[in-house]
Amino acid sequence: MKPRKYLMTAVAAFVLSACGGVNNRIPFVGAGESTAAQGGLGGGAGQAGQGGQGETGGEIAGPAPIPQLAAAQSGSLGSSCESLASFIFDKTKIVTATTVSAGTLTVAGIPIEEHCRVTGKMNERVGPVDGQPYSIQFEMRLPKNWNGRFLHQGNGGIDGSVATATGDTGAGQTNALKLGFAVLSSDAGHSAAQNPLFGMDPQARLDYGYAAVGTLTPMAKALVKLAYGRGPDRSYFAGGSNGGRHTMVAAARYAAEYDGFLAVSPGFNLPKSSIAQLWGAQQWATVATDLADLETAFPVAERRLVADAILARCDALDGLADGMVNDYQGCRKAFDIQRDVPSCRGARDGTCLTDAQKSAFSNVYRGPINSAGVALYANWPFDPGMVASGWAGWTFRNSVGANRGPVSAVIFATPPEPAKLADTLAYALTFSLDVDAPKFYATSGLYTESAISYMTPPNPENLDMLRNRGAKMIIVHGEADGVFSPNDTAAYMDALGRRYFGDESKFVRFFRVPGMGHVSGGPATDQYAGLNILIDWVEAGRAPSSIVAQARGAGNPSGVNADVPATWAPNRSRPLCAYPLIAFYKGGDPERAASFACEKASN
Ligand SMILES: [Ca+2]
């Protein structure tokens, strides 16, 4: 009987719409929800979450009630910064502990207050395969005036560098260090000089995938305790791209240690997306006029042609022709490249596409499918953000470049194939979905975990630990991401939905960003206070039904996004809606978020 009660309370809107209810545009806003505004804590509608009906309080017929976590309390650095050099922890060597005076460090032009920077390394060892010295290098930045919280910063790319521990989580946002978090950053267990050959070392693979996080976390919390006299009240994990992957892997593996997760444009299926990138390069290569520059397959003039055709079919589906396609589902049905883009009768001249170009485009947007008919990754939404240079960089250059897609030969394939790095373009163009892709799923006596195992969340649909302890996760993903498909993230959410019957909206919410490229950029509103909104959910029970995001047009104080069209208000705002809802225009100023409402898509 539990599921019935469950469905009739928490997810009535979904059930009604799925059953063809009387109104298929039911706002998914329940008691205890807030429309989170730029500026964060308490900046939303402000309804109290606790004790509301069916959102964060009230009777829940799930497997266990979801507890409400208490808010963190502030503190201050008790001991001198330099004394932290004597910190002792298992397999840990502190290298430096140095006071950083106020204003020495700035992020996006904003000065950071006085803090203590501690650097060190864990698990120093020599790799048994390659004889290389390995360790997990890290830095922690501990603000003098502490907000009681700890943030584990997940870094991007293939790691190998200790990025400055500012806790940046996206474009133009207030960073965690500025907010008073103690922030940890690491190289995930290998150095930049070891990229990408660290993939020869079995333990370095695991550290990059997940194990470094597990090793670092208790050390970081112990260092916080020594610095402030108590451990963190609340602990968070955040990052974009591969850092978003770290975040989602941590949500599955280490939810006992963290209260909040913010995953931006997450590569949580990174080996699978690499398959899509390598195979995609092959599709573009069939129509490139210069294999040394795959962008010749689909240069910006032709991408603009397609983007305009997408806009013609899809822009107004959300009620307003504003250069943004909010209704990504409707657009998959409404747009047909064969019908909607002129076919070239002669040579390509920027006003048409050849049949071969259209085929390449359709193949890429469908996603890779092997000879047995098995889809190896997700498909992609049609979004005009494909015009952006960032999209082109991921699609045409990183897919064949030495530091991105082809490094899969060493860090994902079992056994690793370092010889393939000699010609990364050749590797990409000869990569076989039938022969090479399975190597990412393979193990051996030496490499006992497959890339799929160490890189992706185990049992991804199982977030029981996160749920049951009151932790929350916010995921943000752009529609025009050139490397990780937001439809893959949507599939993850759908899998959660099948396990939790809608209850997942109480602990995980996903926000799609029309037009946004990878992590940021694109013709989009890509600036939002993600971390503040997450804190508000975790510690005050205010679940965000939408997030107000702003464009970073001309004059934006924390950096200008050159992809923002000149026809937009430079500070255009939009609600990012909790999946599966999308933003519909309801009337009023077309440049303002308040003119939109989050509703179920009509398709
Ligand atoms: Ca629109």
CA of 327 to the centre of ligand 1 (A): 8
pLDDT tens digits along 358-387: 999 999 999 999 999 999 999 999 999 999
- The reply to whether 259 belongs to the active site is no
Distances, alpha carbon 543 to alpha carbons 34, 472, 507, in Å: 6, 9, 8
CB count in 10 Å sphere of residue 101: 11
Q: Is 60 exceeded by the pLDDT of residue 347?
A: yes
Q: What is the mean pLDDT of residues 474-500?
A: 98
> What average pLDDT does the structure give for the chain?
90
Q: What is the pTM of this model?
A: 0.91
Report CA torsion sign: 248, 463, 485, 586. Answer: negative
Q: What is the mean pLDDT of residues 148-167?
A: 97
CA of 319 to the centre of ligand 1 (A): 6
CA of 46 to the centre of ligand 1 (A): 28
CA of 522 to the centre of ligand 1 (A): 15
Those residues whose beta carbon sits under 5 angstroms from the ion ligand 1 are: 315, 318, 320, 322, 324
pLDDT tens digits along 216-237: 999 999 999 999 999 999 999 9
Q: Which of 135, 241, 450, 545 is catalytic?
A: 241
Please name which of 239, 318, 363, 387 lies closest in space to residue 577, comparing C-alpha atoms.
Answer: 318
Q: What is the mean pLDDT of residues 534-560?
A: 95
- Confidence tier at 15 by pLDDT (50, 70, 90): very low
- The reply to whether 518 belongs to the active site is yes
Q: Is 60 exceeded by the pLDDT of residue 203?
A: yes
CA of 151 to the centre of ligand 1 (A): 36
Q: Which of 318, 477, 518, 573 is catalytic?
A: 518
Q: Is 50 exceeded by the pLDDT of residue 24?
A: no
pLDDT tens digits along 171-180: 777 799 999 9
Q: How many Å separate Cα 145 from the centre of its chain?
A: 29
CA of 323 to the centre of ligand 1 (A): 6
pLDDT at 173: 72
pLDDT at 19: 33
Ramachandran assignment for 515, one of left (phi > 0), alpha (psi -120 to 50 degrees), beta (any other): left
Rounded to whole angstroms, how far apart are CA atoms 433 and 203? 27
Q: What is the mean pLDDT of residues 463-469?
A: 97
- The reply to whether 246 belongs to the active site is no
CA of 147 to the centre of ligand 1 (A): 40
CA of 573 to the centre of ligand 1 (A): 13
Q: Which of 481, 526, 536, 563 is catalytic?
A: 481
CB count in 10 Å sphere of residue 346: 7
